[in-house]
Amino acid sequence: MAQESTDEDYHPTDAQVKQLQQSCSVSDAGMLELQEKLVAAVAAWSRATRSDGPLAALRQLDGYFEQVRNHGGLSGKKSIYVLCVEKAVRQFVELRREKPQMLVANGNSEPLQRSAFNSEDEIWRRGCSQAESDALDKLRRSCGDRTFVESSSDCPQGAGNVRTYTNQVSGECRVK
């Protein structure tokens, strides 16, 4: 299974949402209540889209902000504030999405019989090729809508009459 570091989550934390709100600062009555509604809306969006990719999650973001807009009876200043925070959250997600994500996965070959090959090199190449293909399939699925770019591959020689090769592949998910 492909492994990814935990800092690759594209959802902003509550503290980051508060920082984004501060960058949109507006002075108007009832702002504290509006800020709390926005933090709750972003938290609900984060929970609902946790397993979605960033693009799918962004498509749903407007609906969560729309709930705040529709139930707030917002003044002009507050409407602009909500729009500013929404734009800041979108930019936050896009920046995270564009940051290359390091991944590593192991792939395995099918069991291969040494007697079916003409040389050690031939069985090693076939086994490593199968194992690399297995690892790349896992990594591409982990990248979602991004592209996996391989940086290294390590497949040691095997021994014995029946061999299963393992290939460890490393690389990055990048925006297409």
Q: Which residues contact 142 (CB under 8 A, 6 or more apart)?
A: 2, 4, 103, 105, 148, 173
Map out the domains of the chain with their CATH numbers: 3-98 (no CATH), 101-174 (3.30.1660)
Confidence (pLDDT) at 7: 40
Least confident of 16-25, 126-135, 152-161: 16-25
Give the span between the Cα atoms of 28 and 32, in whole angstroms: 9
Taking 60 as the threshold, does the pLDDT of residue 126 lie above it? yes
pLDDT by residue (tens digit) across 76-115?
A: 888 888 999 999 999 988 888 888 889 999 999 999 999 9
Residue with tokens 């940086």: 151
Q: Encode pLDDT of 135-166 as tens digits.
A: 999 999 988 888 999 999 999 998 999 999 99
Does the pLDDT at position 8 exceed 90? no
Instruction: Estimate the crossing angle of helix 54-72 against helix 31-48, to 10 degrees.
Output: 150
The residue type of 139 is: L
* 6 Cβ contact list (under 8 Å, min separation 6): none
Does the pLDDT of residue 74 top 60, yes or no?
A: yes
Mean pLDDT for the stretch of residues 46-67 = 88
Instruction: Please state, in angstroms and rounded to a whole number, the distance separating the CA atoms of residues 78 and 85.
Output: 10
Q: Of the candidates 149, 146, 145, 140, which has an alpha carbon nearest to the alpha carbon of residue 107? A: 140
